[in-house]
């Protein structure tokens, strides 16, 4: 008989029919007449109740049916008398695929803390919580492609191994095949990278943007969606060493177009998750964050506030609030500042623009005031910065001047500069940290809980 997924049982409710279900046992309980198993197959957060009549099955047969074991049951789907579920399967046959020794299985009990489950990252997808998070993550990934594809953006794959370390977005992980215990040296004692795999120093990318600009100035509108690596030793609930980033880049787009795209984009993703992951979101709301659905709908139905960095600084300085990091014009905003603006002052998502040039990357379009650039950060409740982007400096001479001023090694940049030498156009783009979006939509508070296998300093076990 063909297997039916539990999600389809709930969707189609084929009452009276014999069904074949397979999954992992969440719990087993009951008495000497009847045993109830809560079965989950990962297709939905909901468990299917299986009823074993002990006239037809004996305890010996059911002994292997313990929490974590994998089973196959054929039986009739009937309406349930019990509370908590509308129907159940009356088991006719049982096959045990794999046992899970109760003395050994780490997820034996319910209600483990998220911290405990991080130590068991290889098994935590089997919990209701992580099942929900991972399904939401998958749905959001699909929504991202859907949003851009429906708007004529092309998906561009940018390299993960790069030879340019000038992006400045973060510290990099070096990539090498040189023997670290016996490095080849040049005559003056430096590492001889001409002997390395690529004949030069290389590293894992911190952003696909520079290559994204090559795509945008050819295809018009592109987006990237891939892994990104940052070797900063920052242990925060919002930073990973390996995370996924979505970076649209669009020709003939100014900063205002860019802001609108960012707002439409995150709203689309949130709306898509609400429409397609309702069960999972409600499960997480019930267990972790009572205001989750309300917050998601609030963001969906309100316009983001747009203001300049300079105005933002004024608000922070006049707030009467004592921040851990003092505020003055020119400082990079900390999460506490971003969250004050979003959560306490405006109570809405905020797009801050026109940051001081000295705290932003070289490629951002310079404003006429000579001290700010056309940057934009989207700030979200509970998260802080979720998107960072800008209009790009399209003028060759201005870009060159900035590169020289910042002392960026030119030999790495020639290919990028060709976008400005040949058919340069106004263009803009941004980067959305995928896990920050998943954090927001799931209501989780630690970024380690929204990626299946988190990479953080001192943590690459699973
Ligand atoms: P932050 O100030 O939060 O460290 P950033 O300004 O260094 O971020 P950008 O270089 O602007 O980040 O990257 C674009 C987006 O990528 C950010 O808005 C954020 O959503 C996400 N992001 C950046 N660094 C990380 C990280 N280490 N882990 C997860 N997401 C990140
Ligand atoms: Mn940023």
What is d(CA 259, CA 374) in angstroms, rounded to the nearest whole number? Answer: 11
HSE-CB at 111 with a 13 A cutoff on CA atoms is 0
Q: What is the 3-state secondary structure of the chain?
A: CCECCHHHHHHHCCCCCEEEEEEEEEEEEECCCEEEEEEECCCCCCCEEEEEECCCCCHHHHCCCCCCCEEEEEEEEEECCCCCCCEEEEEEEEEEEECCCCCCCCCCCCCCCHHHHHHCCCCHHHCHHHHHHHHHHHHHHHHHHHHHHHCCCEECCCCCEECCCCCCCCCCCEECCCCCCCCCECCCCCECHHHCCCCCCEEECCCCHHHHHHHHHHHCEEEEEEEEECCCCCCCCCCCCEEEEEEEEEECCCHHHHHHHHHHHHHHHHHHHHHHCHHHHHHHHHHHCCCHHHHHHHHHHCCCEEEEHHHHHHHHHCCCCCCCCCCCCCCCCCHHHHHHHHHHHHCCCEEEEEEEHHHCCCCECECCCCCEEEEEEEEECCCEEEEEEEEECCCHHHHHHHHHHCCCCHHHCHHHHHHHHCCCCCEEEEEEEHHHHHHHHHCCCCHHHCCCCCCECCECCC
Which residue's alpha carbon is nearest to atom 4 within ligand 1?
A: 239
Structure token digits, residue 141? 């990934």
> What is the Å distance from ligand 1's center to 241 Cα?
11
Segments in the chain below pLDDT 70: 165-169
pLDDT (0 to 100) of residue 339: 94
Q: Given ligand 1 and candidates 436, 449, 454, 456, which is best to mutate, with the most ligand atoms within 8 Å of its CB?
A: 436
Which residue's alpha carbon is nearest to atom 23 within ligand 1?
A: 433
- Around ligand 1, the residues with Cβ closer than 6 Å are 169-170, 230, 239-240, 243, 245, 385-388, 431-433, 435-436
Question: What is the CB neighbour count within 10 angstroms for residue 222?
Answer: 27
Pick from 249, 79, 67, 258: nearest CA to 158: 249
CATH classification of 124-170+206-449, choosing from 3.30.930.10, 3.30.70.60, 3.90.380.10, 3.30.2270.10? 3.30.930.10
> Which ligand is nearest to the Cα of residue 230, counting in written order?
1
Structure token digits, residue 115? 């911290």
What is d(CA 309, CA 108) in angstroms, rounded to the nearest whole number? Answer: 51
pLDDT (0 to 100) of residue 111: 83
Structure token digits, residue 335? 């999460």
Which residue's alpha carbon is nearest to atom 11 within ligand 1?
A: 388
Number of the ligand 1 atom closest to the C-alpha atom of 447? 29
pTM: 0.96
Structure token digits, residue 1? 């008989």
**Residue 16 φ then ψ, to 5°:** 85, -15
pLDDT (0 to 100) of residue 67: 97
Rg, C-alpha atoms of the chain: 27
Residue with tokens 């009990």: 109
pLDDT (0 to 100) of residue 193: 96
Number of the ligand 1 atom closest to the C-alpha atom of 386? 20
Is residue 91 within 8 Å of 73, Cβ to Cβ? yes
> What is the Å distance from ligand 1's center to 206 Cα?
10
> Which ligand is nearest to the Cα of residue 229, counting in written order?
1
Domain range annotation of the chain = 6-108, 124-170+206-449
Number of the ligand 1 atom closest to the C-alpha atom of 437? 20
> Which ligand is nearest to the Cα of residue 168, counting in written order?
1
pLDDT (0 to 100) of residue 166: 61
HSE-CB at 295 with a 13 A cutoff on CA atoms is 21
Question: What is the CB neighbour count within 10 angstroms for residue 199?
Answer: 10
What is d(CA 423, CA 35) in angstroms, rounded to the nearest whole number? Answer: 73
pLDDT (0 to 100) of residue 322: 94
> What is the Å distance from ligand 2's center to 311 Cα?
18
> What is the Å distance from ligand 2's center to 422 Cα?
28
Query: Integer distance in angstroms from the first to the last C-alpha of the chain?
Result: 36
> What is the Å distance from ligand 2's center to 359 Cα?
10
> Which ligand is nearest to the Cα of residue 433, counting in written order?
1
> Which ligand is nearest to the Cα of residue 450, counting in written order?
1
Pick from 236, 232, 179: nearest CA to 204: 232
> What is the Å distance from ligand 2's center to 174 Cα?
22
Which residue's alpha carbon is nearest to atom 9 within ligand 1?
A: 388
Number of the ligand 1 atom closest to the C-alpha atom of 377? 18
Which residue's alpha carbon is nearest to atom 26 within ligand 1?
A: 239
> Which ligand is nearest to the Cα of residue 436, counting in written order?
1
Tell me the β-bridge partners of 229. Answer: 242
Pick from 438, 435, 343: nearest CA to 382: 343
> What is the Å distance from ligand 2's center to 360 Cα?
8
C-alpha of 236 from chain center: 15
Which residue's alpha carbon is nearest to atom 27 within ligand 1?
A: 239
Residue 115 zone, left/alpha/beta (φ > 0; ψ -120 to 50; rest): alpha
Is residue 175 within 8 Å of 202, Cβ to Cβ? yes
Number of the ligand 1 atom closest to the C-alpha atom of 240? 28
> What is the Å distance from ligand 1's center to 429 Cα?
14
> What is the Å distance from ligand 1's center to 433 Cα?
6
Which residue's alpha carbon is nearest to atom 7 within ligand 1?
A: 169
pLDDT (0 to 100) of residue 327: 96
> What is the Å distance from ligand 2's center to 98 Cα?
47
Domain 6-108 has CATH 2.40.50.140: yes
Pick from 158, 157, 110, 130: nearest CA to 280: 130
């Amino acid at each position: 008989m063909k297997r039916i997924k539990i999600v389809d049982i709930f969707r189609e409710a084929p009452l009276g029919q014999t069904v074949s279900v397979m999954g992992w046992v969440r719990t087993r309980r009951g008495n000497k007449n009847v045993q109830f198993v809560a079965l989950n197959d990962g297709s939905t957060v909901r468990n299917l109740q299986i009823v074993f009549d002990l006239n037809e099955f004996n305890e010996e047969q059911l002994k292997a049916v313990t929490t974590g074991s994998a089973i196959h049951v054929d039986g009739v789907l009937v309406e349930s008398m019990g509370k908590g579920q509308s129907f159940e399967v009356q088991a006719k046959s049982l096959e045990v695929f794999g046992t899970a020794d109760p003395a050994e299985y780490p997820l034996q009990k319910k209600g483990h803390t998220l911290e405990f489950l991080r130590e068991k990252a290889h098994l935590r997808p089997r919990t209701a919580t992580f099942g929900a998070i991972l399904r939401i993550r998958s749905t959001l990934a699909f929504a991202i492609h859907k949003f851009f594809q429906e708007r004529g953006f092309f998906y561009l794959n940018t390299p993960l191994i790069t030879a340019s370390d000038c992006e400045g977005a973060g510290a990099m992980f070096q990539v090498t095949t040189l023997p670290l215990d016996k490095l080849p040296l040049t005559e003056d004692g430096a590492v001889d990278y001409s002997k390395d795999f690529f004949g030069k120093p290389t590293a894992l990318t911190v952003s696909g943007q520079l290559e994204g600009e090559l795509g945008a100035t050819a295809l018009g509108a592109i987006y990237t969606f891939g892994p990104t690596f940052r070797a900063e030793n920052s242990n925060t609930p919002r930073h990973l060493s390996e995370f996924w980033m979505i970076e649209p880049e669009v020709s003939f787009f100014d900063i205002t177009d860019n802001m609108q795209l960012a707002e439409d984009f995150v709203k689309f993703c949130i709306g898509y998750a609400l429409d397609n992951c309702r069960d999972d979101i409600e499960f997480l709301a019930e267990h972790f964050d009572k205001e989750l659905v309300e917050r998601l709908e609030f963001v969906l139905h309100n316009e983001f506030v747009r203001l300049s960095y300079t105005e933002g600084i004024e608000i922070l300085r006049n707030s009467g609030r004592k921040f851990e990091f003092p505020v003055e014009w020119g400082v990079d905003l900390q999460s506490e500042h971003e969250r004050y603006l979003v959560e306490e002052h405006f109570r809405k998502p905020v797009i801050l623009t026109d940051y001081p040039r000295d705290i932003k990357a070289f490629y951002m379009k310079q404003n006429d005031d000579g001290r700010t650039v056309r940057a934009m950060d989207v700030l979200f409740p509970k998260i802080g910065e979720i998107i960072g982007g800008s209009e790009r400096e399209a003028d060759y001479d201005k870009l060159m001047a900035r590169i020289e001023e910042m002392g960026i090694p030119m030999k790495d940049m020639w290919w990028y500069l060709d976008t400005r030498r040949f058919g340069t156009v106004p263009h803009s783009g941004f980067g959305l940290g995928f896990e920050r979006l998943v954090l927001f939509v799931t209501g989780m508070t630690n970024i380690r809980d929204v990626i299946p296998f988190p990479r953080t300093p001192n943590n690459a076990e699973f």
